Structure 1
Amino acid sequence: MTLELIPNSDLVFKGPFTVVSITALKLSNSGNERLAYKIKTTAPKRYCVKPNSGFLDAHATTNIQVMLQPQAVGQPDDRAKHKFMVQWVTVPNSYAEDVDTFWKQDLKTLNVQDSKLKCVFSDEQPAAVVPSDSHGHRELDATDSTNVIENDAKQQQQTATPAPINFNQRSPITTPRPANPFQSQVQDRQQDVTDDSSKSRLKQEIDRLKDENETLKEKLKQPDSGVRQRVLGAGNPVVDRLKSNQQQQNSLVLFGIALNEQLVLVAFVIALLFGFSLGYFLFSCSN
């Protein structure tokens, strides 16, 4: 059975130590047997270890968080005496109790192994390299968490605070340029062709209307043209009314009856025949 520790000699804690300082310990079971582990320290009141014990299956890995609590005011600095010890032992696969019960039993008959770690304290604050667990997850220490929070706060402050506006500064006016000059020329050419086509169609329509107007004028000038007959022919109420008024003006009025030239001629012929007949009758009676 083999339990690998990363780091395997020193646990490095980085300041400031006025707040909780966190470091990581990686445990890896490289053997084919199930292991039980337990972590002990010489200063249990100053450290919080999560988890401080557990089971580790074959070829499994786990990450341990070791948190150093801030030193109380007036308390002597005894960090030079701080040490850790990791114990591990093989566990049967059939064992079903919890890990606390396992470590409470008599361990003299078991082959318990251990590895010791020394605590190192650094006032520098660079981000420590934190080992990842068996799933590739990376855990942040206290320094990384503090830096992330400070960066987020700065970004939020920059976003919330608008930049000062300089009213005296004039922004340059930029004229948009076409992304593709060749494409712009093609579009202009197409627009010109479209305009020329519209102008050509309009000119043709004007010429056609002029020709129709001239043709209509020529037809109106002809006296026997169909157009003139339609304008002046029968069936036009205006023309009929004008003709009726003209006939009434040209006719004679006898006993309140309007007589035209034809009626006068017929009356004259009848009167002539009547006079001739009357004269012949009188002449016959006298003989």
Structure 2
Amino acid sequence: MSNELVTIQPGELKFPFKLKQQSLCSFQLINNTDNYLVFKVKTTSTKKYAVRPNRGVVLPKATCNVTVTMQAPKEAPPGMQCKDRFLVQSVIAPSGATVKDITSDMFNKEPCRVIEENKLRVLYVAPPQFPSTILESSEEGPAQKEVTGYMSSDVSSFTPVSKDLNELKEKLFESQAKISKFTEEKSAALQQKQKLEQELVRSENKALIKRSNHERARLGFPFLFVCFIGIVGIILGYYFHS
């Protein structure tokens, strides 16, 4: 999903759906401009989802990772269809803006302000299904036992894979959370660096102005003194010649 200010990837939020178990999903917000951008994420079901970060600053041409956590569902919706929606609002901010500078007024619609809005829909994705173990009974015939043994061995071969997939998913979610945290820290560090550079430039300018004023004052005093001596000499000359 690409617009003038930002590009959001992916354009949909896909959550692995499992009863009584939380699930995570993430998306990237890419700044397409050479300006600072601030963003805010809204949802139609605030109690159902947790968004981190739900607002933030994206540096020029930079990317911000947003992680969304869905609370453990107690029941499946009809047809596995979800009506929840997310809205990502983006607006140009002053250079050097930080998260502390974000206010609600920034997202108020005004004639001279461009607020870009991107809507994301939520999709439920069924987790992978594996064959269940068929218990072998004493009354089963040879053919049924053969099928049962095949299914049982099939399950045993898939069980470690399922476990590994879950571990990989957990590691992936942890990595995404760490990347999001590192991105925020990098953004804060760059903003702090820019502020320090601006303060250094202002300090140097003040020092140059102060030095210039001092030089002018130092050079102006001898000139005034010479003028004063000259005026006194003219007065004395006139007095002695009169």
Which TM class, normalised by the smaller chain length?
Answer: 0.3 to 0.5
The TM-score normalised by the length of structure 1 is 0.40
Higher relative contact order (CA 8 A, sep 6+): 2
Highest CA radius of gyration, 1 or 2? 1
